[in-house]
Structure 1
Amino acid sequence: MKIEIWSDYVCPFCYIGKRRLEQAIGLFPHRGELEIVYRSFELDPNAKPYTSGTIYDSLAAKFGVSAGEAKAMTANIAEQAKALGLDYRFDTMKPTGTFDAHRLAFFAAGSGKAEELTERLLKAYFTDSEHIGDRDTLVRLAAETGLNAEEARRFLESEEGGAEVRSDEREAGALGVRGVPFFVINRKYAISGAQPTELFLDTLYKAWNEEHPLIFVDGADGEGAGELCEDGSCVIPPRDSGRPS
């Protein structure tokens, strides 16, 4: 069963949504048969790799509010994150563009390290106050997840991965994605936003049951079809069984 996740590394609800999905997966008995694919989405494709100012300045400019109001906006988000064991340090976050970070994710996926790099990039931005738009920083983070540092640097210094990022973003547009996180299960069920764990779990079960329907096998001679409460099972007789109602 395939789960595709469109997200951005500077999106606070993407980290929260990732944790809630992980909680649901932890409760899902078929978690070993899930395939998770991370897709690229830039909240601001025009953002520069190096952005001066604080996260509050960026939010104030984006939403047309004061820096103080922007700071108040983040308080509730930080509390939601804290409930999931995440430490959001908005005061020291470094606003940046994420195009290179998304490119690096494709490099990591080629080595089976997409999950590890995604987690490391999110923690680097939200908790460690790392500059994830800086290539030296990205190379170091890649190495911390077990990737070859020199290969990661060569990849970032090339144009590789760029076409894949743009392809993911075009696909998001075709699917009607306007914000992230955005989760697509089996290309049938879509969950927009950092929804409650219960919703993720219910949707996983729904998709799984559709993909693996129960097949009832009757006895060869049909005997016992109308029996009640035998062999540890109680059944309701069929309506056309002739039994009185």
Structure 2
Amino acid sequence: MRIDIWSDFVCPFCYIGKRKLEKALKQFKHREEVELVFRSYQLDPTAKRDNDEHLYDVLAKKYGMTREKAKEMSDQITEQAKEEGLDFNFDTSIRTNTADAHRLAHFAYEQGKGLELTELLLKAYFTDSLHIGDHEILSDFAQEVGMDKGEALNVLKSNKFIDVIKQDQQEGINIGVQGVPFFVFNHKYAVSGAQPTHVFLEVLEKVKEEQSELTIIESNKSEGAHCSNESCDS
């Protein structure tokens, strides 16, 4: 079973939703059969890599509210995160463009380190208040998960995986993604937002049940006509 997850590293509900899905997977008997694939979806592709404007000021402008109201809204999200065992620090978070973080994540997936790096990047932004647009910091994360730091820096200095990010974003738009997180199970069932754990578990069970519905019926005498990679037999 494959789960494609459109998300961004500065999206709080992406981190919260990730935890809720992980809790559901712990209760799912067939969790070893599940493959998680994080897809790129930038909430603000035009954001600057280095930006001194505080998150609360940005939210105030975006939603037409006071800075105090923006902080109050962020505090409410922080409380939701605590329920999932996460520690958010919006007061000290560093805003940035997430393109380089996404590019490094795609590079990590090529080396089987994508899930580990994704977790590190989310924690770095929301808990540790690190600059996840800084190449040195990003390459340190790559090294931490077992990748070569020099290779990671070379990728970050290039434009590699830019097209992949754009493709992910466009594919998401094409299937109806209007916000993140957005989870697609086996290219068939979609779950939008950080839904309760039981919702994820219900979808997991439903997809597994449908996978198990197919039964191969064979004669006792011989195998039925079929085609393999090499030939067709009757």
- Superposition TM-score, scaled by structure 1 size: 0.86
1:121, 1:176 → 2: CA distance?
26
Partner of 1:130: 130
Partner of 1:79: 79
1:139, 1:122 → 2: CA distance?
15
TM-superposed deviation, 1:6: 0.2
| Range with greater deviation from structure 2 (58-67 or 194-203) | 58-67
TM-superposed deviation, 1:213: 1.5
List per-residue Cα deviations over 1:202-235 (Å, max 9, x = no partner). Answer: 00000111011275x9xxxxxxxxxxxxxxxxxx
Partner of 2:33: 33
1:144, 1:65 → 2: CA distance?
40
2:130, 2:39 → 1: CA distance?
22
Partner of 1:5: 5
- Secondary structure of the structure 2 residue equivalent to 1:46: coil
Unaligned regions of 5+ residues in structure 1, if any?
Answer: 218-245
Partner of 2:175: 175
2:77, 2:206 → 1: CA distance?
29
| Residue identity matched to 1:202 | E
In structure 2, the CA distance between the partners of 1:214 and 1:110, relative to structure 1 (3 Å rule), is closer
Regions of 4+ moved over 3 Å: none
TM-superposed deviation, 1:53: 2.1
TM-superposed deviation, 1:163: 0.6
- Secondary structure of the structure 1 residue equivalent to 2:96: coil
Partner of 1:68: 68
**Does structure 2 conserve the Cα–Cα contact (< 8 Å) formed by 1:101 and 1:133?**
yes
- Superposition TM-score, scaled by structure 2 size: 0.90
List per-residue Cα deviations over 1:12-57 (Å, max 9, x = no partner). Answer: 0000000000000000000011111110000101101111121111
- Secondary structure of the structure 1 residue equivalent to 2:183: strand
| Residue identity matched to 1:82 | K
Partner of 2:206: 206
Matches within 5 A, 1:185-200: 185-200=185-200
- Secondary structure of the structure 2 residue equivalent to 1:4: strand
Partner of 1:58: 58
In structure 2, the CA distance between the partners of 1:213 and 1:96, relative to structure 1 (3 Å rule), is same
List per-residue Cα deviations over 1:71-119 (Å, max 9, x = no partner). Answer: 0001111011001110000100001110110011111001100100000
2:46, 2:53 → 1: CA distance?
16
**Does structure 2 conserve the Cα–Cα contact (< 8 Å) formed by 1:143 and 1:149?**
yes
TM-superposed deviation, 1:136: 1.4
Identity %: 53
- The CA RMSD over aligned residues, in Å, is 1.5
